[in-house]
Structure 1
Amino acid sequence: MTFDRIITLHGEDELVQRAGHLFVASREEFLVAAADLMTWSAGVNAAFREGKRPHVVPGLTMRKLYSRRALAEPESLRRLRRIAASGIEVRISDGPITREAIVIDRRTAILAGVPVRGVRTYTVVHTPEVVDGVRSLFRASWETATELADCTASPPPLTGQARDTLRTLAAGHTDETGARLLGVSLRTYRRRVAELMAALGAGSRFQAGLLARGLLDEEAAPAAPAALR
C-alpha cells in the first residue's frame, strides 16, 4: 500500500477541489451510501456542475442507498423523488448505514467521517482490496434494501383518532402526557403509536414525530389535498 492511494480531505470544498474530477469522470458505476441527503449532496452536485456534466449519462449505473432517516422530512422526501425521477436508482435501508461512502467505477472509494465541529473528513482510497470490500458491503445492503416507491406509498386513510395521536407525536409529548391529553390508558396510547409508526414506515419515535409534522402541515395547506381523513 502506497501513501498516494489513501488521501484525507477536510470539508466539502476540498472534496470538490481535489476529488471532484473523480465524480465527473465516472463512466461505469457510481454508488452512494448515506444516512441522509446532507453527507454527499452538496459536494457531488458542485462537482458535476463544475464539470458541466449531467449526473446520469448513457451506460452509467447510478445507485443511491439511504437510511430511513432520509425520509423523515417532507423536503428530503421530495428531493429523493426528484433524484429517482432523473433515472438514478434509489433504495432505502431498514438498518443503519454503518459506513457512508461513494464507490466510483470499482476503482475508487471515498469514505465520509463523522463531522467534527461541523467539518467532515473524507478519505479517498484507490487500494483495490479496500475498494472491493466497500463495494461488497454496499451491494449486500442494496440487495436487502427497499425501493423508494415502496417506502413512500401514501398511507391508508387515518381516522380522527389517529390524527389526534399524530398531533401528540408532532408536539413531542411523552407517552404519559399523550395518553392523558387523549383520555386513554397508557397501554392504549402506546398501541396507537406503534400502529401509526408502522403505517408511516417510521423506524423511531423521533422519525415518526417528524413525519407527523409533515403530514399535518400538508393537511393544513389550503392548496394541498388532505393527507389525513
Structure 2
Amino acid sequence: MSVLGLSGLEEAVYRYLLRNPGSGGQRIQLELCATRRDVARALTRLSGLGLLHEAAHQNFVPADPQVTVDRLISLRLRGLYEEVGHVTRARSVVGALRAEQNIAAEAELSMERVEGVTQIRERIEDLAFFTRKEVLSLEPGVRLAEVIREHTRPLDTRWLNRGVQLRRVVHEKALVDSYTADYFRELAAQGAEIRVADELPEPLFAFDRQAAVVSAAPGASAMRAVVVREAGLVSTAVTLFEKVWEGAADLLDVDGVRNESGVAQDRPSKVERRVLETMCRVGKDEAGARDLGMSVRTYRRHIAGLLDRLGANSRAHAALLARERDWI
C-alpha cells in the first residue's frame, strides 16, 4: 500500500487490526516487534486519515477495506493533481478512461447491503467523514439515550462544528426520556433543526443528497440496511424525508416532555422554564428573545402556550401560578 501513501509499519498496523479488531497499542507493539513511539505515530496517522476508529480503553477498530482504499486513493490523487495541475491536457483523458469502465461494476457500487448495528454505524461514520453541506435523518426509535451517548453525539458535534446543516425528525415518544429531550433541545440551540412526529416510517439518513442509508425493506429488521448512491434512489429518499418533515412539528412547539402515552406532562421543559424565568425578569419581548437566543415570534409562542397550560389570564397571573406549582 506504499503507492497509496502508507509506510510499511502503517500498512502492517492496519492489516493487523483487520485480523484483530479492538487491539490496543501495546499488543500491536509486541506482535509487530516495533517501538512504542513508532506504533503510536502509526496509530495517530491512521486515525487522522480516518482509517481507524478509537474504541473504548484506547483500542482501535479499522475502517472497511473498500472505504480505506477509496479514501487513500482520493487523498493520493488530490496530491498528484496539485503537483501536476499545470498539465491541463491530461484532464481530457479522464472522460475517455471513464467510458471504458464496466457499467455493471458501477451499478454494483451504487448499492451496498449492510447487516448488523456495527456495520451500519461504520457506514454512517464513513459517509459522515465526507459530508460537507447537509444531513437529513428520520429516527423512529423511542429509546435513543444509549445510542446518543455512544454514537450520535460525536457525529452531531463533528457535523455542527464543520457548519453542516442538520435536519432531523424524531418520534414524540423519544422525548419521554429527559436525557434524550434535553439533548435534542441542546442540538436545536446549536443550530440544528429538529422536528417531532407521532408516526415515522423506517429509519433514513441522507448525506449531501449524494448518498443515503435506508432500511433494507419495509418492516425489515433494524439490523439490515442499504447504502445507496444512485441519484434516482437518493432523490426518492430525500423526497420521503421532505414529506415527513413538512408534516412534523418543530421541537420548540412541543409542550414539554411527554409520557409513554404521548400526553404532555404537567411540568415545563428546560426551554419553557427559561422562558418563564425570562418573562418574569425582562419587560420587553425583544429583550427576552434576545437573551434566550430565539426569535420574538418563538418567544411569544412559548409564552402563549404556557399561559394556556397554566390557565392564566395574564403574564403576571402566569408567573404567580408557575411559582405555586414550583415551575420556577
Interval containing the TM-score (normalised by the shorter chain): 0.5 to 0.7
Residue equivalent to 2:169: 65
* TM-superposition CA deviations, 1:15-62 (whole Å, max 9, x none): 23344121121111100111136396444445x39xxx7221455221
Residue equivalent to 2:250: 147
Which structure dedicates a bigger proportion of its chain to helix?
2
- Give the deviation of 1:66 after TM superposition: 1.1
Is the 2:176–2:258 contact (alpha carbons within 8 Å) kept by the matching residues of 1? no
- Give the deviation of 1:103 after TM superposition: 0.5
Percent identity at matched positions? 19
Aligned partner letter, 1:206: S
Residue equivalent to 2:238: 135
Aligned pairs for 1:167-182 within 5 A: none
Residue equivalent to 1:207: 262
Residue equivalent to 1:185: none
2:85 maps to 1:30 = no
Change in 2 beyond 3 A, CA 1:43/1:110: farther
Change in 2 beyond 3 A, CA 1:70/1:19: closer
Change in 2 beyond 3 A, CA 1:9/1:43: farther
Change in 2 beyond 3 A, CA 1:122/1:75: same
Aligned partner letter, 1:13: T
Which of residues 18, 21, 27 in structure 1 aligns to 2:126? 21
Measured in 1, the distance between the counterparts of 2:122 and 2:248 equals 32
Aligned pairs for 1:31-110 within 5 A: 31-36=136-141, 38=144, 41=148, 42-45=150-153, 48=155, 54-57=158-161, 59-94=163-198, 96-110=199-213
* TM-superposition CA deviations, 1:169-213 (whole Å, max 9, x none): xxxxxxxxxxxxxxxxxxxxxxxxxxxxxxx767xx7334xx65x
Uncovered stretches (5+) of structure 1, i.e. residues with no partner: 155-199, 216-224
* TM-score, scaled relative to structure 2: 0.43
Change in 2 beyond 3 A, CA 1:62/1:13: same
Aligned partner letter, 2:209: R
Total equivalences in the alignment: 164
Residue equivalent to 1:197: none
Is the 2:173–2:258 contact (alpha carbons within 8 Å) kept by the matching residues of 1? no
Change in 2 beyond 3 A, CA 1:40/1:109: farther
Change in 2 beyond 3 A, CA 1:45/1:15: farther
RMSD: 3.5
Change in 2 beyond 3 A, CA 1:26/1:206: same
Change in 2 beyond 3 A, CA 1:77/1:17: closer
Is the 1:100–1:111 contact (alpha carbons within 8 Å) kept by the matching residues of 2? yes
Measured in 1, the distance between the counterparts of 2:170 and 2:121 equals 21
Aligned partner letter, 2:262: Q
Residue equivalent to 2:301: none
Uncovered stretches (5+) of structure 2, i.e. residues with no partner: 1-103, 268-322
Is the 1:13–1:43 contact (alpha carbons within 8 Å) kept by the matching residues of 2? no
